[in-house]
Structure 1
């Protein structure tokens, strides 16, 4: 099995060189005991080596301590996951590991079939489907914090037009609709049917016409949406993949006018996240309006900068 892993890792590295996949180093430092037993799914079989403190979790960036290691999942599949394993030697490697939800206690909640929340005086039951859709089909802390902020009433939602980017399970959009907004929740096509099912199950019949799901890949076919036609743009944990930042900014610019309020809920995990805030600040005025200390999630408010007309 180890030789199969090495070959698969090499093929994947050739397809996506940015991942910097080094199977030989992985096998030397993390091979299970005994060597011929295959890739260990039990962390106790891994050779001990000190690791830095675990990062915080987020979609497509799931970090948790496994034994004495810190593993960061980049993509989730039913049985396999890419992990960046960071050790005290100071280098990063990519590894393809068997994935078992019970293996990491902090991730078990994502494997539950549903999660229940209480917002807008209603119980909201959100279906989850990690095995089929991965990070797009579970409720992340950033969504919970953004819902809490919306319920505070700081932003007026009654009869406002709202669009949510990267809606995932739809929790944030559902709460916005229950608070009186006319909501369009968006995500990639692969997640749309799942998203629609959560809308239908949680929004009362008399409000169904005020909520809809539409496909939107950032920066693609934006003309299908009303340019600058939304009062509020929402995004929970949409800031995590650096290669998506330009398309995300393009989408935010297209959907917003100078009167639009943008609310982005996220953890600030890495330098690239700070870089996104700087990029956002070059085109919008940005301020932090809320911070959940327990979940370490920030809510940022952004508005498009006024265009000065020549005299």
Structure 2
């Protein structure tokens, strides 16, 4: 099981998002397999990730997920130990599991996706014996956050009646145009006054830039700085740091009321 992974973009008839074929390039499906990933020995022991496309395209490794996981291990593995962390659109859980394996986190890390991916996330948590460090949960973008997940978030002095994660991870979440506004709604709900979102995506279509444009209008967005940044951009992969724009408490509360 080599770490060099062939990124085959593929779908099955079980994909939970109908019509996705017109948004993601379709190639030949591959059978279920387990990949060993160490990120050049940053992870010891290596991470084992089972890939299975039965429930949709989120069940395999994607390039932006590899980039974000490697970046977090290189740049932030030592400064996130006490942070509450949630991953959006986790698929099989690569990014969250890599962070949990490679850093000394003291709080449960939450990986989320739609219901069809829940079993695969739980399988990969068990495969890596991370049951005490990682929680898999269902999160449909544009819907309210379940109390069981929200209970793990942090409180903030400016908004004592609201709870937010410290860090949001999102990789390859920009692929299905009808879901763009739902993703933005969920980001509004999760990004509190001190929340930092690491957002990585691979540009495939012109519509992807429309999402980034809208995200930049609604949030403070800057390029993440790292050694391989320019090469990744040449490959069409972009990594951003996203923060909530400063707002009055009243405006923020009204926005959260509208977005669930």
For the aligned pair, the TM-score class normalised by the smaller chain equals: 0.7 to 0.9
Task: Give matches, 1:195-234, under 5 Å.
Answer: 195-204=121-130, 208-224=131-147, 225-226=149-150, 228-234=163-169
Unaligned runs of 5+ in 2: 1-5, 151-161, 251-260
Among 247, 254, 273, the residue aligned to 2:182: 247
Change beyond 3 A, Cα 1:199–1:83: closer
Q: Which is greater in Rg?
A: 1
Once the two structures are superposed, residues 48-82 of structure 1 have per-residue CA deviations (whole angstroms, 9 ceiling, x without a partner) of xxxxxxxxx989xx4xxxxxxxxxx6x5237xx98
**Structure with the bigger percentage of strand:** 1
The alignment status of 1:141 with 2:63, answered yes or no, reads yes
The size of the alignment, in residue pairs, is: 215
The alignment status of 1:268 with 2:203, answered yes or no, reads yes
Unaligned runs of 5+ in 1: 1-56, 63-72, 85-96, 102-109
The secondary structure found in structure 2 opposite 1:244 is helix
Change beyond 3 A, Cα 1:58–1:232: farther
The higher-RCO structure (CA 8 Å, 6+ apart) is: 2
Change beyond 3 A, Cα 1:303–1:123: same
TM-score, L = length of structure 2: 0.73
Shift of 1:169: 0.8
Contact 2:87 2:169 in 1 (8 A): yes
Among 277, 292, 298, the residue aligned to 2:212: 277
Contact 2:63 2:202 in 1 (8 A): no
Shift of 1:295: 4.5
Shift of 1:111: 3.4
Among 49, 52, 59, the residue aligned to 1:126: 49
Distance 1:124 1:309 in 2: 41
Corresponding residue number in structure 1 for 2:104: 180
Once the two structures are superposed, residues 239-281 of structure 1 have per-residue CA deviations (whole angstroms, 9 ceiling, x without a partner) of 1111111110110111121211101111122221111111111
Contact 1:267 1:297 in 2 (8 A): yes
Corresponding residue number in structure 1 for 2:238: 298
Corresponding residue number in structure 2 for 1:257: 192
Contact 1:228 1:254 in 2 (8 A): no
Among 93, 99, 120, the residue aligned to 1:194: 120
The secondary structure found in structure 2 opposite 1:120 is coil
Q: Which runs of 4+ in 1 moved over 6 A?
A: none
Change beyond 3 A, Cα 1:82–1:263: closer
**Superposition RMSD in Å:** 2.9
The secondary structure found in structure 2 opposite 1:76 is coil
